[in-house]
Amino acid sequence: MRGVHGVDEIRTAENELMARLPEGALMARAATGLAVECARLLGPVYGARVVLLVGAGNNGGDALYAGAWLARRGVRATALLLAPDKAHPGGLAAFRAAGGRTADPTPAALAGADLVLDGIVGIGGTGGLRDEAVPLAQAARDALTVAVDVPSGVDADTGAVEGETVHADVTVTFGALKPGLVVGTGAERAGELRLVDIGLAATLPAASTHVFEAADVAALLPTPGAADNKYTRGVLGVAAGSSAYPGAGVLCTGSAINGGAGMIRYVGTAADAIRAQYPEVVVQEGAAPDDLHVQAWVAGPGMGTDDAAHDLLAAVLATGEPAVVDADGITLVGSSPGLVRDRDAPTVLTPHDGEFARIADGPSGDRLASVRAAARDLDAVVLLKGNATVIAAPDGRAWVNRTGTPWLGTAGSGDVLSGLIGSLLAAGLEAPLAAAVGAYVHGVAGQLAAQGGPPSSLDVLHAVRPALREIGRG
Ligand SMILES: NC(=O)C1=CN([C@@H]2O[C@H](COP(=O)(O)OP(=O)(O)OC[C@H]3O[C@@H](n4cnc5c(N)ncnc54)[C@H](OP(=O)(O)O)[C@@H]3O)[C@@H](O)[C@H]2O)[C@@H](O)CC1
Ligand SMILES: [K+]
């Protein structure tokens, strides 16, 4: 599990750590880690051409010291100083002493570069890229680009982007992940992430935002013991699908089965389709949700938004069990938020951006803040889908999911996700963890399904079990 820390937290921790270390030690750690990553990416370094984009602050200092390290190993390094009077003096001296050259900051200077190092601006940046940096960022797109700490132009705290930014292939970040590297447009601009340990863990506070890795998810995934049976493994009630949209019910139910629910009770109005597809499901069409013995519910996908759907959703949410609400269910909650707010049991809401706007303000460019605010306001776990799905609990804990593929933006994909989260809730996982684990597994299933070409949601559904196997293997 990796912690994600905002800029203020990182600054405070850096200052505290710097006070304990000899001057320059922290930057030396950062720059060495950065240079080693660049060397790894270059392969043979001798004779390689590296161009440094150097801004006014310590971010440029990191680039210059890394450039010096590379130049000492035979790299032909050229620094383009965007603010020559403010370039980090120690870094520039070291760079020159190692044989590095400087040149005018023009796009032509980037031609033929094997690697461009973006040290324009890091966590000290405000606003988008400044005008003079824009043509350089554009020219860097033709080369392998490594961002120092943060792709310049990306808001390190939020992932929001105004105008042009550097598009990094790899971002080498120091001390801790920043929100802007894992959320929103910033996550796209950062490319692959490499974290350099500069010893910051000693002074950082506990993170309130986390990124799960396979081992974290494997440890949380329910596995039945010898004494378990279908009831103790978790019974899930499903109120999804309708005669008009049976497919949503089929995908959601199938995903809950593949996700490991011990048993499923189906109460939606797509009963015929469910019977035909899944003989193992107990179809109890018309039964009152409160009369059914289940450990959790999933409601909403394809259920429609008419009065009957509203009544069914209200009846599900009036039970004392945890519930996932998706799709049409979210639209219904938008006009009756009390259905969720007044519950005692946990609720997980899984909107995409359009659905989010029906239940909360936003999402703004600061997706984490928007989701946290919505979770607090609705007293529910909110999972906002996106290139990096964000999950927040009402108590402020949050997770960012890093698995997945843009191919998951396909009809029915959300039905698979909600069924999966439902099965994890039924197995007894705490609601925010069920959402975060479900998002992770769904993303891996999407990646596996996409290996064979553009996947349908049925392909993603069929990839859930292989995904669980792969995650379990670590
Ligand atoms: N602290 C530490 O111990 C360690 C820090 N480390 C490193 O330091 C980095 C933070 O350094 P930092 O604080 O010097 O800020 P930084 O991001 O270089 O920018 C500063 C200057 O840029 C300018 N500027 C602002 N916005 C801009 C924009 N949009 N576009 C262009 N320029 C813009 C503005 O200057 P101005 O031109 O306004 O005078 C501002 O003062 C951090 O990311 C990491 O890489 C590591 O070495 C580990 C140890
Ligand atoms: K940068």
Q: Which residue's CA lies nearest to atom 34 of ligand 1?
A: 56
Q: How confident is the model at residue 287 (pLDDT cuts 50, 70, 90)?
A: very high
Look at residues 428, 450, 455, 439 and name the one whose alpha carbon lies nearest to residue 398: 439
Non-local CB neighbours of 20 within 8 Å, separated by 6+ positions: none
Please tell me whether residues 200 and 221 are part of one structural domain. no
Look at residues 211, 289, 220, 208 and name the one whose alpha carbon lies nearest to residue 1: 211
Say yes or no: CB of residue 171 within 6 Å of ligand 1: no
Tokens 């019977």 belong to residue: 275
Look at residues 444, 451, 441, 392 and name the one whose alpha carbon lies nearest to residue 418: 441
Q: Is 421 annotated as a binding residue?
A: no
Domain span including residue 33? 2-207
Q: Which residue's CA lies nearest to atom 48 of ligand 1?
A: 27
Average pLDDT on 211-233 reads 93
Say yes or no: CB of residue 121 within 6 Å of ligand 1: yes
Q: How far apart (Å, rounded) are the C-alpha atoms in residues 214 and 437?
A: 10
From the alpha carbon of 27, which atom of ligand 1 is closest?
47
Please tell me whether residues 199 and 328 are part of one structural domain. no
Q: How far apart (Å, rounded) are the C-alpha atoms in residues 326 and 355?
A: 9
Tokens 């920043």 belong to residue: 178
Most informative mutation of 21, 23, 52, 58 for ligand 1 (most atoms within 8 A of CB): 58
Query: To 10 degrees, the CA torsion angle through 421, 427, 433, 436?
Result: -30
Check residue 474 and give its pLDDT. Answer: 62
Closest-lying ligand to the alpha carbon of 81?
A: 1
Distances (CA, A) of 175 to 167, 169, 368: 21, 20, 20
Contact in structure between 221 and 438 (CB atoms under 8 Å): no
CA dihedral sign, ordered 466, 467, 472, 474 = positive
Q: Ligand 1 center to residue 98 CA distance, Å? A: 23
Most informative mutation of 52, 53, 88, 121 for ligand 1 (most atoms within 8 A of CB): 121
Amino acid at 125: G
User: Whole-model pTM?
Assistant: 0.96
Q: Ligand 1 center to residue 112 CA distance, Å? A: 27
Say yes or no: CB of residue 221 within 6 Å of ligand 1: no
Please tell me whether residues 139 and 101 are part of one structural domain. yes
Whole-number percent of the chain with pLDDT over 70: 100
pLDDT at 452 > cutoff 90: no
Radius of gyration of the chain (CA): 25
Q: How far apart (Å, rounded) are the C-alpha atoms in residues 447 and 456?
A: 12
Please tell me whether residues 147 and 218 are part of one structural domain. no
* ipTM (interface pTM): 0.97
Please tell me whether residues 194 and 228 are part of one structural domain. no
Cβ neighbour number for residue 76 with a 10 Å cutoff = 17
Look at residues 261, 320, 274, 262 and name the one whose alpha carbon lies nearest to residue 301: 274
Average pLDDT of the chain to the nearest whole number: 97
Q: Is 225 annotated as a binding residue?
A: no
Contact in structure between 300 and 240 (CB atoms under 8 Å): yes
Q: Which domain-ending residue is among 207, 230, 247?
A: 207
Q: Ligand 2 center to residue 416 CA distance, Å? A: 38
Please tell me whether residues 428 and 455 are part of one structural domain. yes
Q: Ligand 2 center to residue 147 CA distance, Å? A: 5
Please tell me whether residues 110 and 235 are part of one structural domain. no
Say yes or no: CB of residue 125 within 6 Å of ligand 1: yes
Q: Kindly write down the DSSP assignment for every residue of 192-247, as one continuous string.
A: EEEEE--SGGGTPPPPSEEE--HHHHHHHS----TT--HHHH-EEEEE---SS-HH
Question: Hey, what are 140's tokens?
Answer: 């860097």
Contact in structure between 250 and 241 (CB atoms under 8 Å): yes
Average pLDDT on 57-71 reads 98
From the alpha carbon of 198, which atom of ligand 1 is closest?
48
Whole-number percent of the chain with pLDDT over 90: 95
Please tell me whether residues 202 and 248 are part of one structural domain. no
CATH code, 118: 3.40.50.10260
Backbone torsion region of residue 207, taken as left when φ is above 0, otherwise alpha when ψ lies between -120 and 50, otherwise beta: beta
Question: Hey, what are 216's tokens?
Answer: 């974290």
Say yes or no: CB of residue 17 within 6 Å of ligand 1: no
Q: Ligand 1 center to residue 399 CA distance, Å? A: 27
Q: Ligand 2 center to residue 203 CA distance, Å? A: 23
Say yes or no: CB of residue 155 within 6 Å of ligand 1: no
Closest-lying ligand to the alpha carbon of 132?
A: 1
Average pLDDT on 4-26 reads 97
Q: Would you mind telling me the total number of residues written for the chain in this entry?
A: 474
Please tell me whether residues 188 and 295 are part of one structural domain. no
Say yes or no: CB of residue 174 within 6 Å of ligand 1: yes
Q: Which residue's CA lies nearest to atom 32 of ligand 1?
A: 121
Q: Is 230 annotated as a binding residue?
A: no
In the chain, the number of structural domains is 2
Q: How far apart (Å, rounded) are the C-alpha atoms in residues 48 and 75?
A: 5
Q: How far apart (Å, rounded) are the C-alpha atoms in residues 67 and 80?
A: 12
Question: Hey, what are 159's tokens?
Answer: 């992932």
Q: How far apart (Å, rounded) are the C-alpha atoms in residues 143 and 156?
A: 23
Q: Which domain-ending residue is among 207, 236, 268?
A: 207
Q: Ligand 2 center to residue 449 CA distance, Å? A: 34
Q: How confident is the model at residue 456 (pLDDT cuts 50, 70, 90)?
A: very high
Say yes or no: CB of residue 406 within 6 Å of ligand 1: no
Check residue 198 and give its pLDDT. Answer: 97
Look at residues 116, 20, 107 and name the one whose alpha carbon lies nearest to residue 66: 116
pLDDT at 418 > cutoff 70: yes
- Note residues around ion ligand 2 (Cβ under 5 angstroms): 118, 122, 147-148, 152
CATH code, 259: 3.40.1190.20
- Please list the residues that pair with 172 across neighbouring strands: 148, 194
Q: How far apart (Å, rounded) are the C-alpha atoms in residues 155 and 177?
A: 13
Say yes or no: CB of residue 91 within 6 Å of ligand 1: no
Q: Which residue's CA lies nearest to atom 21 of ligand 1?
A: 57
Q: Ligand 1 center to residue 127 CA distance, Å? A: 13
Please tell me whether residues 201 and 218 are part of one structural domain. no
Please tell me whether residues 197 and 226 are part of one structural domain. no
Q: How confident is the model at residue 79 (pLDDT cuts 50, 70, 90)?
A: very high
Q: Which domain-ending residue is among 207, 242, 265?
A: 207
Please tell me whether residues 39 and 150 are part of one structural domain. yes
